[in-house]
Amino acid sequence: MNFFLTILAGISILALSPAAFAGWDKSATDRIEHLQAARQKAQLNGEAIAKAAAILSDYNRSNSQYNNGLPVTVNEVKVIIEKNDSFRNDELNEISERLKEFYKAYSVSSLKDLESKIGERLNPREWTGIQSPMPFSAYQYQQNLESFESFEKEAKTAMIGALANEKDEAARSVIIITNFPQHNYSGGDLSQLQNEIKNALISPKVKHDDLLNIAITSDWSAGVFPITKIPFRTIGASVLFVDKDSDGNCRFNAYRFISVDGAELEYKSVKAGLGEGYAKCDQAITANGGIKASNSGFFSSLIWFLLVVVNLIGGALILKDKSFSVKRIRPFLVILDKNQSVFGLVALGLGLLSLLMSFLSSSIFQNFIPQASAVIIGIVLSSQFSISKRQKMVIAISESKLFTQPIGIIAVVVAVIHLVFSGDLYFI
């Protein structure tokens, strides 16, 4: 009862005092206008801070291309650092100065406190209207700032590494001139090996003219594959390459080559740290006599084949008492037997020519056995011609006739072996 009387008394007082009511209405209106102005200003300030945060976020996003790692060269890292410094000195510095103004205007000292103050102005407790969303996030801005500073530190660290790499690269680029290696091979098929090595290295990236000299730096090393039991041999060589930068210095590398079951050489591996370096091109090209001419051409193959033929036929003629019994070759041998002196001279000349070719190509012992056999056969078969021309050889020829049968047998055996193995059997 008393509560309702009190309400009625209040209403009556207001009704009786229009001036008092009008004063209350004006005060409330001013308060509302003040709140609205504060909210509008806070909204604009918040949007300005959000715009600054977006600029920082976009810059960080532009550096996302380096998420997998920064460049390793000095010039590339230098560009990144200069870009960072420019952003810090211009955009980021302007953002920082603007934030300081906001700190001062709202009497705060941190972005988090600034977010709180703007939030209070944007949505005050007295405000009963629709709540306005916060334009920016202090946490996200701080994360963007930390990302920028972290990337900046990574760029400076990358520059330290790039400078170190450049220093190491400069040290590695200093060319130390040495002598091209000497041959260290005891076999007689040197030129053949050089040409096989050349062929083994030819590829889409390596042309024939890129190889200037080859030094055989080891003897053969034999082995057997553990599972297949197939035999193989390996050999080492240093290879001189053409001067591509025209500084007069040629690079040479060391390699290991393999021959499987008697096949031609194939590239096996690089011998890192051994037999490699740089040498003066003009000296290295002619070192060890340079690359010898290949004796595997058509003419050499013809000589090789003729050695086989000479030894087979010559052996058959010396063993004519037995070989004439073979009906298929008897007519042919009868004709040659009548001209055995001529055949002997041909065999002698062929053997001597082949020996001379081997000597000139530094492959003295490559075909030595069939060559020597051809020379001996030539002397035996042309004995009558030799006797008629040089009487002093009568005694030597007559003594050699005691060995004609063994010589014939050896000639045939040598011819067969030479035909089957192409000389490789002599130097396994």
**Which residue segment(s) compose the domain that 355 sits in?**
298-427
pLDDT of 5 = 38
- Is residue 2 included in any domain, yes or no? no
Q: Is the dihedral of CA 315, 317, 321, 324 positive or negative?
A: positive
- Indicate if 329 and 304 belong to the same structural domain: yes
Neighbours of 381 (CB within 10 A): 30
Collapsing DSSP states into helix, strand and coil, what is residue 277?
strand
Q: What is the pLDDT of residues 83-135, one digit of tens each?
A: 999 999 999 999 999 999 999 989 999 999 999 989 888 888 877 777 888 89
Span 389-396, mean pLDDT? 50
17 pLDDT band, cuts 50/70/90, is very low
15 within domain boundaries: no
Q: Tell me, what's the pLDDT at 123?
A: 87
Q: What does the pLDDT average to over 376-400?
A: 57
Q: How many domains does the chain have?
A: 3
pLDDT beyond 50 at 148: yes
Is residue 333 domain-shared with residue 260, that is, in the same domain?
Answer: no
- Rounded to whole angstroms, the Cα distance separating 106 from 99 reads 10
pLDDT at 300: 61
Q: Are 162 and 195 members of one domain?
A: no
Task: Summarize the confidence of residues 345-366 as an average pLDDT.
Answer: 68
CB 133 within 8 A of CB 142: no
Nearest to 369 by CA among 427, 414, 408: 414
204: DSSP letter: S
pTM, rounded to two decimals: 0.40
The per-residue pLDDT for range 408-424, each reduced to its tens digit, is 566 556 566 655 554 44
Task: Show the tokens assigned to 361.
Answer: 């190509």
- Taking only the tens place, the pLDDT of each residue in 29-74 is 887 788 888 889 989 999 999 998 999 999 999 998 888 889 889 9
pLDDT at residue 330 greater than cutoff 70: no
For 295-305, what is the mean pLDDT?
Answer: 61
How far apart are alpha carbons 396 and 383 in whole angstroms?
10
Q: Find how far residue 320's CA is from the centre of its chain.
A: 64
Residues 133 and 234 grouped into a single domain: no
Q: Does residue 20 sit in helix, strand or coil?
A: helix
The per-type count for the chain, helices as H runs and strands as E runs, is 16, 6
Looking at the fold, whether 195 and 159 belong to one and the same domain comes out as no
382 shares a domain with 310: yes
State the average pLDDT over residues 236-262.
90
Domain-located, residue 325:
yes
Q: Are residues 285 and 311 in the same domain?
A: no
At residue 359 the predicted structure's pLDDT band, cuts being 50, 70 and 90, is: low
pLDDT > 90? residue 234: yes
Please say which residue of 270, 289, 308 terminates a domain: 289
